[in-house]
Structure 1
């Protein structure tokens, strides 16, 4: 096993709004899928690498508390500018981490989820 991480889901109330937010921040297109009782917008990823999705389903609610998913940031400064323009907010950072780990920030997305952005050193 190379990694324990397999898949993540970020709950959303408005899938169109959330997809527009993340597509703007990451300058990427998301693939849409649906299953009974849920709609998803899939983050771009190379298979078989771990991936994730925005998830709209009655049993899942956005939250600024709880687990935090950290997403890769190739240019954290530019991404934080796009976060603000897309309707999100930077709530912490950017903070440089010790030992050449990189820089990270915490944002609130368009749905109220706390999400981390990490730019490796």
Structure 2
């Protein structure tokens, strides 16, 4: 199950918003709320104000460029394996299968449909 508040806040740059929305919907089964802020178009991930943490957005705009180097976002989930299995069918590329990080759980890493390097983390 996708945690609707995966991190404090994040913005994932995209060049093709419909393609990026399709990819993240396919992998995480989320619906997006669309928002325009000036020249930027944002697809907002779900947000639950009662839960700790916050959400984020896919963002297309003149100051956003997808990148596979630099800061990485890790999505929290119940188990990374079934979600990683959806990555390539959704248009991404699997970079690291489910891997133990000892007492801290498991991670997996993929490149999304836009070229961003993104991670997943689960306790099991």
List runs of 5+ in structure 1 lacking aligned partners.
Answer: none
Aligned length: 116
Q: Is the 8 A contact 2:81 2:97 kept in 1?
A: no
Please state how far the C-alpha of 1:93 moved relative to its aligned partner: 2.8
C-alpha RMSD of the superposition: 1.3
How many angstroms apart in 2 are the aligned matches of 1:85 and 1:75?
18
* Correspondence for 1:55: 59
* Correspondence for 1:117: 120
**Cα shift readout 1:71-109 (whole Å, capped 9, x = no counterpart):** 11223111111111101111123111112x111011000
Residue of structure 1 aligned with 2:11, choices 3, 9, 12: 9
Greater Cα offset, 71-80 or 36-45 = 71-80
More strand by share: 1
How many angstroms apart in 2 are the aligned matches of 1:39 and 1:10?
12
Deviating beyond 6 angstroms after TM superposition, the runs of 4 or more aligned structure 1 residues are none
How many angstroms apart in 1 are the aligned matches of 2:93 and 2:122?
18
Seen in structure 2, the aligned counterparts of structure 1 residues 85 and 66 have a Cα distance that, compared at 3 Å, is same
* Correspondence for 1:86: 90
List runs of 5+ in structure 2 lacking aligned partners.
Answer: 1-6
Residue of structure 1 aligned with 2:23, choices 2, 21, 24: 21
Greater Cα offset, 61-70 or 24-33 = 24-33
